[in-house]
A = this chain, B = another copy of it.
Amino acid sequence: MKIVTIRDVAKAAGVSISTVSRVLNERQDVDPNTRARVEATVRKLNYIRNQSASNLKQQSKSCVGVILSGRRNAFLTDLAEEVMEAGHGSGFTFIMDIIDEKANQLLAARKLYMEYRLQGVIILGANLEGREEEVKKLELPQVYATIDAGFLGSSHISSVSIDHHAAGFEAASRLLQLGHRRIALLGYFSRGQDSTGARLHGAVAAMREAGIPYDESLFTEVNFTMPSAYMNVKRMLAEGRRFTALFAASDIMAIGAIRALHEQGLRVPDDVSVIGFDGIELGSFLAPSLTSVRQPTSLIAQESVRLMRELIETNQSRHVQVPYDWLPGETTALAKEA
């Protein structure tokens, strides 16, 4: 395939490459007639700009990196899509890097920044636990989506998230109101500086308020995949650890858990109530549909883009909290004992 360069376009249109470049970059200081002629030539020759060459020079372009931790996390991939959509509308160009869930997001962000000369990086679903110093040393505009990074106190870092602790508190409260006393918890159980830990800590707080002490035997550590949730719940059941309700820190984990319950002959919600987290599309198409806590994907995406713009244009750091929704479903019911 013949490669058409800006030089070919310039020659064919009878102008200099500077002028073609101006037209391509939609600068206003071009004569309308010239512009029209160049545009026609671009179309006729099927010219497509070489991104590498363009990026090499153009440092001021609003090219932003998006780090997606874990491609299997339906919530995050949805969020990534919405971020790109929200950004395209307002002139951002994105370059996305999908990394392993367990990979270091900060290293990935740094690498992407260097490789493509970005203006900043939006990091989806990060775990900042114990990485305060590392994050602060990364001196580039960062926006963390789904986690509150305010505690870092960094001037080049913004974030947008729901109140994970409150959401976890609400989920557990709903189960308590239905009469459940033995509630299993699925997820990571960190100190709570990350979103997942905060959800579980919130749930534990609700239980404690209801006079139910934390029962370690009802917690099982699970990474954010269906197989992991499935295996761990299966093991819990095999070990005779019984419960009438289960709160999973993600919908995907809830699905794996439900399968394990199903194989054990336990029915959802008749024998065990289940609440997930995130509110992914799939949840509402399951039978029974999944009860969950919805994170407002579009809103988080829009805020991420807005925060990135503020960080780039006015050097302003903010930490935004957005509301979550309770998502009623068919996997929760009154506890049998009640």
| Complex: chain B residue closest to A5, CB-CB | B114
Are B116 and A51 within 8 A (Cβ)? Answer: yes
B-facing residues in A29-55 (Cβ within 8 Å):
46, 48-55
Are B52 and A1 within 8 A (Cβ)? Answer: no
Indicate which residue in B56, B268, B281 contacts A50 across the interface (CB closer than 8 Å): B56
Are A259 and B230 within 8 A (Cβ)? Answer: no
For the complex, give the distance between the alpha carbons of A86 and B333 in Å. Answer: 46
Given contacts A71-B81, A259-B285, are A51 and B52 in contact (CB under 8 A)? yes
Judge whether A286 is part of the interface by a CB distance below 8 angstroms. yes
Write out the residue numbers on chain B whose beta carbons fall within 8 Å of the beta carbon of A230.
285
Indicate which residue in B51, B113, B285 contacts A115 across the interface (CB closer than 8 Å): B51
Write out the residue numbers on chain B whose beta carbons fall within 8 Å of the beta carbon of A140.
1
What is the CB-to-nearest-CB distance from A82 to chain B, in angstroms, rounded to a whole number? 11
Judge whether A197 is part of the interface by a CB distance below 8 angstroms. no
Write out the residue numbers on chain B whose beta carbons fall within 8 Å of the beta carbon of A115.
48-52
Judge whether A117 is part of the interface by a CB distance below 8 angstroms. yes
What is the CB-to-nearest-CB distance from A106 to chain B, in angstroms, rounded to a whole number? 12
Indicate which residue in B259, B281, B284 contacts A286 across the interface (CB closer than 8 Å): B259
Judge whether A103 is part of the interface by a CB distance below 8 angstroms. no
For the complex, give the distance between the alpha carbons of A286 and B283 in Å. Answer: 11
Write out the residue numbers on chain B whose beta carbons fall within 8 Å of the beta carbon of A282.
226, 255, 282
B-facing residues in A58-82 (Cβ within 8 Å):
71, 77, 81
Write out the residue numbers on chain B whose beta carbons fall within 8 Å of the beta carbon of A71.
77, 81
Interface residues on A, range: 35 or more
| Complex: chain B residue closest to A226, CB-CB | B285
Judge whether A7 is part of the interface by a CB distance below 8 angstroms. no
What is the CB-to-nearest-CB distance from A253 to chain B, in angstroms, rounded to a whole number? 11
Are A138 and B50 within 8 A (Cβ)? Answer: no
| Complex: chain B residue closest to A54, CB-CB | B52
| Complex: chain B residue closest to A263, CB-CB | B287
| Complex: chain B residue closest to A137, CB-CB | B1
Indicate which residue in B3, B53, B226 contacts A281 across the interface (CB closer than 8 Å): B226
Are A52 and B48 within 8 A (Cβ)? Answer: no
| Complex: chain B residue closest to A230, CB-CB | B285
Judge whether A206 is part of the interface by a CB distance below 8 angstroms. no
B-facing residues in A100-135 (Cβ within 8 Å):
110-111, 113-117
**Most B CB atoms within 10 A — which of A110, A111, A259?**
A259
Write out the residue numbers on chain B whose beta carbons fall within 8 Å of the beta carbon of A191.
none
29 contacts between A and B (CB under 8 A): A1-B110, A1-B139, A4-B114, A48-B110, A48-B111, A48-B115, A49-B115, A50-B114, A50-B116, A50-B117, A51-B115, A51-B116, A52-B53, A52-B55, A52-B117, A71-B77, A71-B81, A77-B77, A226-B282, A227-B281, A255-B282, A258-B287, A259-B284, A259-B286, A259-B287, A259-B289, A268-B287, A282-B282, A286-B286
A residues neighboring B (CB under 8 Å): 1, 3-4, 46, 48-56, 71, 77, 81, 98, 110-111, 113-117, 138-140, 226-227, 230, 255-256, 258-259, 262, 268, 281-282, 284-287, 289
